[in-house]
Structure 1
């Protein structure tokens, strides 16, 4: 494997930005996920196109998207408690099999012509429930796939890189297949892609991890997880930041079609440019995160990335020149990527092992669960006040979130410094 290095002047040594791939189990995971994610993005655009073709209703399209994401909000904390009490590897294996069967059911229904929007909605809900188990368990399993824990931030960043690469390539390839062969082929390819990730899981050689035995109920486990976060202000402050961002700031991505059409009188091609700019920005952010070394102050990075996200949206709200709007979208996506990935990395590296899955479940709830609510809110704002004012308000909200988090960090620094100063007296 060819090694790619960056020279780190601060540490005075070279850093391999693909170092997590030197771990066999993680390399298998990364390869399987990269292939499966391509199929996942193909299925996403095929479902959207199929629903819109059947109903010609943007509202129904939004409802289907909402149904597929809302389990993250409702179930994540309970699932985190469940995952903490069971073997993560087995859960991930079972959820991947479940997602493969869901894709197979979609492909079969569409191929046979026996489908309607209700069946698609039901299968989207099933996918959302399975995904909530899968993401929580897979994120918690990450620490077991990397032998050297110093490479964990790099592993998380490379996962994000794979996701965003699939986000750029999957819809492009899926669009060609969709227009040429129809939705059933996209669903079928997604079904086949799961063989890669399931095969990679079966080839792993993990050290047996005994699940932590607990006698308390899932509800008691949920309360303990909440209590742990309440007494861990650094973790809870990051989750609160992500919650506010997911509700008020990050849903700007749902407005990209409106921006392309209303602000620049564009068409589907113009919209694709905005999607590509967002994907490229996220990819740049993921590569930047891949250079992260253990010991990096991730909370400072979250603060700066939140500011970049807000600045990008504010610039987009005032942009009247298309290239400037695309650049603003790129910067906002980069800030969003670095913010979310830094929060994820901080939680995985700082949460106690016994509570890691529950802490991650709150992260998933704050990101994936709140996002659909934010999308509905932002869509209503855009309908009532117009796209320009909505983006402006989102940018201002993002700036307030960044400033609030900066104030929290500054307060914490002062709390640490003042007692030490008094002690010296």
Structure 2
């Protein structure tokens, strides 16, 4: 197991990793509470959906500009600002809910501003990892980041449910505000020797991504995978209409996806420092096949097994694709490229989420779940030549050393 967690041998990354688990869990904690609050205020599921839209649309619209900012001034400086702003916004939300002054327009506004700040924050986080661990450990560090994501999906709702019942919405928001402090302290304490690129702003991230076949296909696959990672949308009718499970059964199937993803994390972490495009393509197809097999599973037991396998294959695939995109990018373009990645996943979910909901509504719940698999296989088939070609070995100028 030691090789799978080699990035944690770097002290600063280890601090960053555990602080990120706390921060991501805090975000999930607030997300649970705000969803409940919005539903209480409006008695409308559509209003809850609009909150998600307000959060992700800025990421989709402004991600490219945010990435240029990261390239220009460096990820550390961006993180100092974004982490402070996000903590402040959560603190403001805590005050509003504690005093009973919250109104829907305020919640929408805070969600939109948070989404805009998060566009820069997400790009900076991904580039910052290379500064902490160096190029040789990027694959391992990206895979470990999936532990952060999946761990927060377990810890966040659990903490949110407890805090919501004991103290109320304001406590969840206050906990989230506090959760930004550990990563902010890490960034403040450790100065990485980041190489900034203030004079490379003429080429946009989208144009650069389009010119590189390997990166272009990986981003396309990331956008397609958003249909799967918006799991609550297709899984709700799938569990209720097909297998007649209640809320507990839905929760168990969601948890099964998370449990299944853990072997995928370990497999990605144990892989080579530079994954091949062909391996990414094969895993993308395997993910698509697993999704389709799950969608048309004849029994609920096989459906649970399929969800676990899908979790493993999808996380393995997306970790390697993310790593390949980072290493294939020129250092001066990495912020903008990862911003485009964020526009694809999770940003493009504002399109793919409603689409799979519509497919399931006009056809049936099985196809609504399985359309993500079809999209993955088609995207992989379309870009197979781009991924199968030998990838460029771009030198990485930033390392793990600190000033």
Give the structure-1-normalised TM-score: 0.86
Q: Distance in 1 between matches of 2:380 and 2:196?
A: 38
Please say if 1:293 is aligned against 2:280.
Answer: no
The within-5 A match list for 1:7-406 is 16-146=3-133, 148-207=134-193, 209-214=194-199, 220-222=202-204, 225-246=205-226, 248-297=227-276, 299-406=277-384
Q: Distance in 1 between matches of 2:286 and 2:157?
A: 27
Q: Distance in 1 between matches of 2:233 and 2:261?
A: 15
* Runs of 4 or more consecutive aligned structure 1 residues displaced over 6 Å after TM superposition: none
Q: Distance in 1 between matches of 2:243 and 2:130?
A: 45
8 Å CA contact 1:98–1:130 kept in 2: the answer is: yes
Deviation at 1:388, TM superposition (A): 2.0
Q: Distance in 1 between matches of 2:380 and 2:197?
A: 37
Alignment match, 1:420: none
Q: Distance in 2 between matches of 1:402 and 1:57?
A: 38
Q: Distance in 1 between matches of 2:241 and 2:162?
A: 26
Change (3 A) 1:405 1:46: same
Deviation at 1:265, TM superposition (A): 2.1
Q: Distance in 2 between matches of 1:174 and 1:78?
A: 33
Deviation at 1:258, TM superposition (A): 2.2
Residues 58-99 of structure 1: CA deviation (Å, up to 9, x unaligned): 211111111111111111112112221112101111101111
Q: Distance in 1 between matches of 2:58 and 2:169?
A: 25
Q: Distance in 1 between matches of 2:347 and 2:358?
A: 18
Q: Distance in 1 between matches of 2:265 and 2:66?
A: 27
Change (3 A) 1:291 1:71: same
Q: Which runs of no fewer than 5 residues in structure 1 stay unpaired?
A: 6-15, 414-425
8 Å CA contact 2:220–2:379 kept in 1: the answer is: no
Deviation at 1:250, TM superposition (A): 4.3
Q: Which runs of no fewer than 5 residues in structure 2 stay unpaired?
A: 391-403
Secondary structure in structure 2 of the residue aligned to 1:214: coil
- What is the number of equivalent residue pairs in this alignment? 390
Secondary structure in structure 2 of the residue aligned to 1:27: helix
Deviation at 1:309, TM superposition (A): 2.0
Q: Distance in 2 between matches of 1:256 and 1:81?
A: 36
Q: Which has the larger radius of gyration?
A: 1
8 Å CA contact 1:81–1:221 kept in 2: the answer is: no
8 Å CA contact 2:286–2:313 kept in 1: the answer is: yes
Deviation at 1:19, TM superposition (A): 1.0
8 Å CA contact 2:274–2:324 kept in 1: the answer is: no
Q: Distance in 2 between matches of 1:143 and 1:392?
A: 35
RMSD over aligned Cα atoms: 2.0
Give the structure-2-normalised TM-score: 0.90
Q: Which has the higher contact order (CA 8 A, sep 6+)?
A: 2
Deviation at 1:102, TM superposition (A): 1.1
Change (3 A) 1:113 1:86: same
Secondary structure in structure 1 of the residue aligned to 2:180: helix
Deviation at 1:408, TM superposition (A): 4.5
8 Å CA contact 1:92–1:137 kept in 2: the answer is: yes
